[in-house]
Amino acid sequence: MMRIFFILVLICAIIIGINGLIILEKNQKKAATITKSSFGHTAAGEEIYLYSCANNNGLKLKMITFGAIVVSLEVPDRDGNLSNINLGFNSLEKYLNGHPYFGATIGRFCNRIAKGKFTLNDSTYSLKTNDGKNHLHGGEQGYDKVVWEAREYVNEDGANIEFSYKSYDGEEGYPGNVDIKATYSLTNNDELKIAFAATTDKATPINLTNHNYWNLNGAGNGDILEHELIINANHYLEVYDDLIPTGGLNNVEESAFNFRTAHRVGSRFQDIPKIENLPLGYDHCFVIKKDDLNDSLTFAAMVKHVETGRIMEVYTTHPGIQFYTGNFLDGGIGSGGFQQYSGFCLETQHFPDAPNQPKFKSTIVYPGQEYNEMTIFRFLNE
């Protein structure tokens, strides 16, 4: 009888040991990682740091403190092969030499403001104009060209980098001192989660976004015209020839802008209204269809690359999403060698030129208020 008892105790110990190893293995899998290294120095001698993150499924994210830029994001195809799907550079020099906002954090106001002017509380403000006569993506020295402070941390959700920047009163013409945080998280649910927060000491427009150029076939591996796209929108913003909104909303019905069901990105280029002196392609803001009037996280878009099986879903609290097909990329130095249509952007945001458009949702943040927006890019494969 005693022998049977000891045998049972031994069996239980073995089972407990095996379960312990399984639990230990699971716990080890939960540990995302972040490493920090030097990425070079600016002309002023400021050191730029590279943060390399990995989640527990092996996805890899690299970001730098210059411009709070996403350098690369590696995700698997249906066979588990990792590829970088974000257009960017492997050296700081190429970012410093100028580029079309590859992977950058954009502000104080993303997209365009007509003639670089707006009136607020009976004062007219003049902003730097860097897109013809208009102001684009924060001006000549937007947030994509500044050095951010960074704090990295790992938690049970994944790897996180909290970037912070203080934008001073008068910077690029904007009123108010603004404290900004942009937290990028590579989650263990295979998401790139971006949370923006900002406060100000004077009323000012704020509209922040990320400007990743995506190619689900791999950065530099062909164009994006065969990607299949869904955008959850019944309307898009009507624009003038300089891409400034007229204030009107156009219905997507029976047009090249109807992505309520999946269409190949390049399948209806010839049906896009042509604008003189602008290359063919999409560069339009869509009005995300929301089930309520709250600023809740809402499905905005989905992109699929059939050949690799990669899928990207986009969820956001923003009311709009700018779909851009890399029309201005030309293969030159300013385009980082990337050809036209090498990547697409889905920039979640408030509507362009909102400070001058009374019908659009206000982008003005006042002292005592906090600007908060979130976007999630979720990656799947089939």
As beta bridge partners, residue 64 has 50, 69
305, 347, 350, 373: the catalytic one is 347
CA nearest to 265, candidates 325, 339, 342: 325
CA distance 349 to 106: 10
| Residues across the chain | 382
Q: Is 179 helix (H, G, I), strand (E, B) or coil?
A: strand
Q: Is 4 helix (H, G, I), strand (E, B) or coil?
A: helix
Alpha-carbon separation of residue 151 from 49, 50, 148, 159 (angstroms): 11, 12, 10, 11
88: which residues sit within 8 A by CB, 6+ positions away? 69, 70, 71, 72, 102, 103, 219, 336
347 is catalytic: yes
Own/partner pairs, 294-301, CB within 8 angstroms, 24+ separation: 295/373, 297/374, 297/376, 298/232, 299/232, 300/231, 300/232, 300/346, 300/348, 301/229, 301/230, 301/231, 301/232, 301/259, 301/346
Q: Are 189 and 156 in contact (CB under 8 A)?
A: no
Helices (H), the chain: 2-29, 92-96
**Taking the CA atoms of the chain, what radius of gyration do you get in angstroms?**
23
As given in the structure block, the two tokens for residue 230 are: 């869904």
CA distance 206 to 355: 10
Return phi, psi of residue 363, to 5°. -110, 10
Task: List, in sequence order, every beta strand (DSSP E) within 188-305.
Answer: 191-200, 204-205, 209-210, 228-231, 233-239, 245-251, 263-264, 283-288, 298-305
227 is catalytic: no
137, 211, 305, 350: the catalytic one is 211
Active-site positions read: 211, 347
